[in-house]
Structure 1
Amino acid sequence: MSENKIAFVAGKSASAQGALDILSRIYPHVEPDEADVIIALGGDGFMLRTLHRYLKLKKPVYGMNRGSVGFLMNEFRADDLMERLTRAEAIELHPLRMEAICSRGEKHHSLAFNEVSLFRETGQAAHIRVSIDGVERIEEMVCDGVLVATTAGSTAYNMSAYGPILPLGSGVLALTAISAYRPRRWRGAILPHQATVEMEVLDPVKRPVGASADSTEIRDVLRVKVFEDRSLWSTVLYDPEHNLDERILREQFAN
């Protein structure tokens, strides 16, 4: 990839902007729509925003961590960038598509590379009916919320809610309860990636529920459908020694 054109995009933090200043003085660069690869400088949140923003360009994205966790990012180093791009391994990430109907009848469509989540809006617990591929699986879940996570997103909010960590390429999604009261002790399920999850909010006036797809939030939803959109993808580049498979494996043995 040493002959290819690169573009730099950076988060607003001082560390991200400092990295942008350093790299832009060392390497020739162009605008993202002219580039062959996009270099994202920031944390995991900025990486997600970059994937969303440039999804239609279908340009590979190589992230370098200037945030805190940096699970989706490579280590930041100013030297040997072009050699690192040449050695980088590519992974295709397909987003989840969320189709939501709100209490006023509006329909919303959003994409998520990490997860789609439903969450209670008030002190009242949410009551949610869950169906998979048209078959009712949970008649009434009493909970703070429920989420559907991708393999890449399984180590984010999903892991915090005690959901399973999913290896990349496993062809599955995680359906995870958030503080479920009923069914008792139900933590969630692992679903095939082609599954369609439908969630219906019961008693939405007394127990309003919101929904989010990555950073996009919608209030007062009645029904939400979630499925993996295989027609869309983003290619993410990783150093061989810092690939997502290894990171996911390490997370499962972390203290």
Structure 2
Amino acid sequence: MDTIGYNGTQNLHEAKALKISFAASDAMIAQESYARLLDRYGTCEPEDADVIVALGGDGFMLHTLHSTTHLNVPVYGMNRGTVGFLMNTFGEENLLRRLGEAEEEVINPLAMTATTSDGNTVRALAINEVSLLRAGPQAAKLRISVDGRVRLPELVCDGALLCTPAGSTAYNYSAHGPILPIGSDVLALTAMAAFRPRRWRGALLPKKANVVFEVLDPIKRPVRADADSRSAHDVVRVEMQSEPNVIHRILFDPGHGLEERLIREQFV
């Protein structure tokens, strides 16, 4: 069957034709909900689905998006975790109608290429952020370049990150970074516990920017890099940039999309 668009105009008759693939985290509440939804709506393989319904928290949503990137199938999350920023409210009733009326957000991840001290290369995609964190008792020392130009010769800190608008309310916000509107073509560069320069509060960069973190004194001050949940240890250089050729399609109930959530988060 043809792929069905999600723009708020889907009617219930069309929604009934949706082929749904359910996925759930290992949490007991998610597994119990999964069993009830399967009994009520049935399921199919992700490769055959028009929509994937993910049951869990934000971490499981990120896992689902990463694991289904190659399918180009939208993912509708229902919160069976804690915060659930990327999820919709859980409910067993009227699921077909909710899927039919859902609004779609399209986001691009960051591509990370990390070089380790032994010469290995680790590549990964990050929907939220790429972060560098000290891996020892001493603060990290980083040199930051943007588009081939050194912008910060030395940052002494617990770590630093580059985040997408979709990830700006996660680790970035906890580190006092800015919340970015979902439609903005910018990335946020944020330091964690910066010691020198003491007053540096990060930067906003164009979405197309190429950002490189170089680790200074990596033996004495080891650093690890994380792209969402994938880690690279003892890194000496990490390159990051938005990956426009990879898209993630996320569905939200009307009026509760990422743009609204990002705005609302700034007033709580």
Instruction: Classify the TM-score, shorter chain.
Output: over 0.9
Task: Using the TM superposition, give the Cα deviation of residue 2 of structure 1 relative to its aligned residue in structure 2, in angstroms.
Answer: 2.9
Q: Which residue identity does 1:248 align to in structure 2?
A: L
- 2:78 matched residue in structure 1: 64
The answer to whether the Cα contact below 8 Å between 1:2 and 1:85 also exists between their aligned partners in 2 is no
Per-residue CA deviation, residues 53-100 of structure 1 (Å, 9 max, x unaligned), is 111111100000000000000000001111111110011111100001
Whether contact under 8 Å (2:86, 2:258) holds in the other structure is: yes
Q: CA RMSD in A?
A: 0.7
Percent identity of the aligned residues?
A: 55
Pick from 237, 243, 247: which aligns with 2:251? 237
Instruction: Indicate whether 1:196 and 2:210 are aligned.
Output: yes
Q: Any idea what the Cα deviations from partners look like across 1:168-206, whole Å, max 9, x if unmatched? A: 011111000010001112121111111110010000111
Residue 132 (structure 1) aligns with = 146
Q: List runs of 5+ in structure 1 lacking aligned partners.
A: none
Amino acid at match of 1:250: R
Match of 1:171 in 2: 185
Determine the structure 2 residue equivalent to 1:181: 195
**In 2, Cα distance between the equivalents of 1:120 and 1:206?**
11
Q: 206, 210, 213: which is aligned to 2:220?
A: 206
**How far 1:21 sits from its partner (Å)?**
1.0
Alpha-carbon shift at residue 244 of structure 1 (Å): 1.0
Q: Deviations over 1:121-155 (max 9, x none)?
A: 00111000000011110000000000000101000
SS at match of 1:98: strand
Runs of 4+ in 1 over 6 A off after TM superposition: none
- Give 5+ residue unaligned stretches, structure 2: 1-14
- The whole-number CA distance in structure 1 between the counterparts of 2:115 and 2:83 is 34
Match of 1:80 in 2: 94
Give the Cα–Cα distance (whole angstroms) in 2 for the partners of residues 96 and 170 of structure 1: 15
SS state of the match for residue 239, structure 2? strand
Tell me the SS of whatever aligns to 2:255.
helix
Matched, 1:156 2:145: no
